[in-house]
Amino acid sequence: MELRQLNTFVTVTKLNNFTKAAAYLGYSQASVTSQIQLLEKELGVYLFDRIGKRIFLTPEGEKLLTYSKEILKLYDETKESFSSNELKGTIMIGASDSLCALRLPLLLKEFHERYPAVEIVLKMKNYNDAQTALRENEIDVAFVIGQKIGSPEFISDLEFPEPLALLTIPGHPLSLKNHISPEDIVPYNAILAQKGCSFRKAFEKCLDDAKLFPKYMMEVGSIQAIKQLTISGMGISLLPRIAVEDELNRKLLAELDWAGAPFDLVTQIIYHRNKRVSPMLQAFLDLAKETMKPL
């Protein structure tokens, strides 16, 4: 079954005449007849009833007509999508909840305005899951916060430091103290993100290295909830500073004078080294470098 045969079949049904279809398509009538006969032979059905000089579609012909129109339409759309200069397609992005909320909205809005025909699919992926998804080709590109990924398996297209802030409410005993050490935070409740989150890992590592454990750890699923619980006086928390700039300026939160080991985290945009960077993906990466700036 060839596209040419399906197009001939649709044309015959439209003009309801073999001779007219042949003239319209620039074929001989024998060629049109042969193409229809080949279709009938391949499908094992009759497509037309011939009564006198008139032709009528059989039920099988009606069925094939529906499929043929869809196939030819899809063929035309496929050709058009590759011949157009407009960027089209889908970009699969993996990103942590924190980056989705803090750094991606402006980028995604600007990209959609520039390339409205490109569909963005955003999947929530933590630091480790994003790397696995890149290996499995489930996503095209990942935005991650964590320890710098230096593996040759991935290409880091953009990276910059992501400052973290150890937080509590103004007036808290720790907010009045200089040079906060890991030992100082142990007596207080710790409000932390879910397991797998890079800044939770940073918090736990600083205590593990000192062989210390907090009095109580509360696991919370979103940055907004962590902020609200900290503002309510439930305990201390560790968050990207970009997430709490407004609350710090409004004196709803206080940043502690941390004197322990630095939380050396970076934000990176990475993709697999074997990933083919299409013009669409390259446009996205270029715009990301324009719009995403360190704090």
Question: pLDDT, tens digit, for every residue of 60-69?
Answer: 999 999 999 9
Residue, of 214 and 92, whose pLDDT is higher:
92
Q: Which of 91-105, 118-132, 181-195 has the weakest average pLDDT?
A: 91-105
Cα-based distances in Å from 153 to 6, 231, 271:
47, 41, 9
Domain boundary among 61, 83, 105: 83
pLDDT digits (tens, 9 = 90+) for 257-295: 999 888 888 999 999 999 989 889 999 999 999 888 765
Same domain, 128 and 188: no
Identify whether 247 is part of a domain: yes
Domain containing residue 139: CATH number: 3.40.190.10
Same domain, 184 and 248: yes
Name the domain count of the chain: 3
Identify whether 269 is part of a domain: no
Same domain, 79 and 7: yes
Identify whether 73 is part of a domain: yes
Domain containing residue 50: CATH number: 1.10.10.10
Identify whether 106 is part of a domain: yes
Domain boundary among 37, 68, 83: 83
pLDDT digits (tens, 9 = 90+) for 125-134: 888 899 999 9
Same domain, 149 and 205: no
Task: Give the pLDDT of residue 291.
Answer: 87
Average pLDDT over residues 200-213: 89
Indicate whether 139 pLDDT > 80. yes
pLDDT digits (tens, 9 = 90+) for 95-110: 987 788 778 988 999 9
Identify whether 183 is part of a domain: yes
Residue, of 138 and 81, whose pLDDT is higher:
138
Indicate whether 151 pLDDT > 90. no
Q: Which of 21, 58, 22 is CA-nearest to residue 43?
A: 58
Identify whether 260 is part of a domain: no
Identify whether 29 is part of a domain: yes
Can you give the C-alpha Rg of the chain in angstroms? 31
Task: Give the pLDDT of residue 84.
Answer: 60
Indicate whether 167 pLDDT > 80. yes
Same domain, 208 and 170: yes
Tokens representing 293? 């700036």
Domain boundary among 54, 83, 112: 83
Same domain, 102 and 231: no
Tokens representing 75? 């063929």
Same domain, 171 and 187: yes
Same domain, 134 and 149: yes
Identify whether 105 is part of a domain: yes
The residue segments making up the domain with residue 190 are: 164-255
- pTM of the complete model: 0.65
Q: Which of 290, 276, 264, 285 is CA-nearest to residue 143?
A: 285
